[in-house]
Amino acid sequence: MASTLLRGRTLTFHSEPTDGEDTKAYTYIEDGAVLMADGIIAASGTYADVAKSDPAANVIDHRPHMLMAGFIDTHIHFPQVLIVASWGSQLLDWLNSYTFPAEAEYANAQHARAMAGRFCDLLTSHGTTTAVAFCSSHKASAEALFSEARVRDMRMIAGKTMMDRNAPDTVLDTPQSSYDDSKTLIADWHGTGRLSYAITPRFAITSTPEQMEMAGTLASEHPDCHIQTHLSENHDEIAFTAELYPKARDYLDVYETYGLVSDRTLLGHAIHLTGREIDAIAETGAHPVFCPTSNLFLGSGLFDDAGLRGKGIHSGIATDIGAGTSYSMLQTLNEGYKILQLQNQKLHTLRAFHWITRGNAEVLGLVDRIGTLDAGTEADVVVLDPKATPAMSLRVDRADTLAEELFALQMMGDDRSLVQTYVAGTPQKASTQ
């Protein structure tokens, strides 16, 4: 297959920038290029050098736009695409009023397949090329998402949600069926193409101890799978969990008891943590996931990024659709910046863009495959227009530095800023601008 050379301004990260002066943490090239072949980045660097390495490559000139690694969303709910922006309520009421009825529809395989296509379209139109997704409790839901991602050669980490209590019968499974379905899905999909399985107990409230034990068995049998769940999002949730698991030292201890906390564990939200929980997360290498638009929408609380970082904890950042209100990782950074501002914490824009690319890749243990423009990694690339709207253009025209331009993109950008998204080297948008 002929190779493709993308020309434009390139930005890729080598480490997390400490501040705006940390130029060793990234490489920015005004006239740069990314050479893609067979779904892999074959080379990146200056246009002159990369073009010379493959004179026969098909050149797509994206100047003056910026090329960056595709965005990574580390916590999103596939079956909640139809309930984004559903009014009112905090977490537990919101789940009962909106989430569980919507997820019940995914028992219908035809509906799940139709929504899988829409879901992946929405991800890529916003620049997301890798996602970590909760499916519904129905096996058909996970099959639909994995099948759609496989057709696109899209990196997807997902799992059938395990939940056997405190929800309507239409979304409940059993400890044994959740184990059996998960086991089959792992055999069928995990490691197929760019797909990986995540063992997915929804949260302690909707799983009995028997089901938690089954989830722990899956984790021990498949140590290369990720584990995803929710932790300490809401005060009422924490209190209910304590009632259901009275012997647990705290919320995290429920998961620890069943062998579900490791460096492959993603803990959605993790807002209201005790000191012991923070120490345990640091010791095990588990990863909290910051979901700013969701936390604001449900009034859940403020994520303590600086406090966790001070303990050496590496957190992900994510949209959490559908309590989250935007598929855009740019808007996720926008709201994340504001949440940290409320706590007198700072999110420098270079660290922000590192977070949604290389940073989230590191959290997933996949930095050798995604999150950068390094040669040998998978060819997931976004093309960004920091002047996508008149208001953005007006602001960016006054930007004197790369950081100023990126900050305007972070605060004002959304899917309109995405000129093109390449997944494994294949363009996902119908046309470029």
Q: Check pLDDT > 50 for residue 432.
A: no
pLDDT (tens digit, 9 = 90+) per residue, 93-116? 989 999 999 999 999 999 999 999
Please give the single-letter amino acid code of residue 222: H
Q: Check pLDDT > 60 for residue 291.
A: yes
pLDDT (tens digit, 9 = 90+) per residue, 257-280? 999 999 999 999 999 999 999 999
DSSP string of 304-326, one letter each residue: -HHHHHHTT---EE---TTTSS-
* pLDDT at position 430: 83
Residue 70 CA to residue 432 CA, distance in Å, equals 16
Mean pLDDT of the chain: 97
Q: Are strands 128-134 and 71-77 parallel, antiparallel or unpaired?
A: parallel
Q: Check pLDDT > 70 for residue 356.
A: yes
Q: Check pLDDT > 70 for residue 1.
A: no
Read off the pLDDT of each residue in 326-335 and give the average, rounded to a whole number: 98
* pLDDT at position 8: 98
For the chain, percent of residues with pLDDT exceeding 90:
95
Of the pLDDT bands very low, low, confident and very high (cuts 50, 70, 90), residue 2 is: confident
* pLDDT at position 338: 98
Q: Check pLDDT > 60 for residue 70.
A: yes
pTM of the model: 0.97
* pLDDT at position 19: 80
Lowest mean pLDDT: which of 87-91, 251-255, 319-323, 423-427?
Answer: 87-91
Q: Check pLDDT > 80 for residue 150.
A: yes
Of the pLDDT bands very low, low, confident and very high (cuts 50, 70, 90), residue 433 is: very low
Of the pLDDT bands very low, low, confident and very high (cuts 50, 70, 90), residue 92 is: confident
Strand ranges (E), 297-409:
316-317, 381-384
C-alpha angle 303-308-310 in degrees, rounded to nearest 5: 135
Q: Check pLDDT > 70 for residue 381.
A: yes
Residue 234 CA to residue 241 CA, distance in Å, equals 11
Of the pLDDT bands very low, low, confident and very high (cuts 50, 70, 90), residue 431 is: low
